[in-house]
Amino acid sequence: MDVPITPVQGYIFKPEDLRVEQRLPGISAFMRIRNGEDFLEATIRTHIQYFDEIVAVYNQCTDRTEEILLKLYREFPEKLRIFHYLDRVYPVGSMEHAKTPPNSPNSIVNYYNFALAQTRFQVVTKLDDDHIAFEPHLAQVKANIIEQKYQLKEILCFSGLNLYRDREGKIGIYPFDPISGRGDIGFFRVTENMFFTFDRRFERSPQGHRRFVGYLYFHMKYLKKGNGYTNYELDKNPNSRYAKRKKVFDTLPPAMSLWETVEKVLPTKMDECLSLFLDKKKILYDQGRELERLVRTGVFRDEMLREIVEQYKTHE
């Protein structure tokens, strides 16, 4: 068996690295991982059958990330490809990120584009290490992409629910950030112009017309050790926008039920009007309407959220 981990250092992204003409019909997922041990294995296991490959790139990990990836590689050597990105990557929200050129090996933009460039198939999507697949919906979207013969004309955006445990131990939805993925994550066909770009606040996803295709995962970020804020290095960046979010999170507000979440995100008549003209408003409108449908028809249930957390929890 070949050495399963490819180290890389000093890489600088160029659009030609995407090798558009050499890509094969199929779907790739690419991951950028830093200390993802809490849900990394569950993420890969619940997603891997729906992709032709998963490209896992890890950076600055001090936990069991590498061990978990090697374990999974032994099970899925034909589908899981592993890279160790050795350069220091500055977190979004930091002053270092804001000041670092996007083609620097230290830029998170360059890091994301490296991961994207390692994929080999025509359609790709970003996959985080704390996404538990909602497999019925993911399977349907995959079938639709295959039906289109991978010739996507738009970005197929999808979302997840931010699961959360409050101070009373109740499992539900995080009230100040109920939905993960507001148009920044989706399936897209790789072209010479589809790559990540720089924003002083964060990396900016590839741009294009976007269409919402459903809720495809449950987001476990707020159930991680450190509640998903550890990688922002907030001790070094006390003025980061994420430091402000963590202060709100630390108040541990009551978890919302699914129906309470629907009431919070259900679009208004004004939202409906704006959705006719603005892509982003259309995505938010469709998100709200689809969540209401899923809860009303019993596809999503509060008991299911508790079962998911119980099934995949890795620490107390």
Residue 268: per-residue pLDDT: 87
**Other C-beta atoms lying within 10 Å of the C-beta of residue 133:** 22
Q: Which two tokens stand for residue 87?
A: 């350069």
What is the spatial distance between Cα 99 and Cα 226, in angstroms, rounded to a whole number? Answer: 26
DSSP state letter for 191 = -
Q: For 164-196, write each residue's pLDDT tens digit.
A: 999 999 999 999 999 999 889 999 999 999 999
**Other C-beta atoms lying within 10 Å of the C-beta of residue 86:** 14
Residue 315: per-residue pLDDT: 65
Vertex 258: Cα angle to 255 and 262 (nearest 5): 110
Vertex 254: Cα angle to 181 and 165 (nearest 5): 65
Residue with token string 């359609």: 123
Residue 182: per-residue pLDDT: 85
Please give the residue range of the domain that contains residue 298. 5-312
Low-confidence stretches of the chain (pLDDT beneath 50) = none
Q: For 263-285, write each residue's pLDDT tens digit.
A: 999 988 888 888 888 888 999 99
What is the spatial distance between Cα 85 and Cα 66, in angstroms, rounded to a whole number? Answer: 12
What is the spatial distance between Cα 50 and Cα 273, in angstroms, rounded to a whole number? Answer: 36
For strands 80-85 and 53-58, give the pairing: parallel
What is the spatial distance between Cα 57 and Cα 129, in angstroms, rounded to a whole number? Answer: 11
DSSP string, 240-273: SHHHHHHHHHTT-PPPBPHHHHHHHH---HHHHH
Model-level pTM?
A: 0.95
**Domains of the chain: total:** 1
188: helix, coil or strand?
strand
Residue 279: per-residue pLDDT: 82
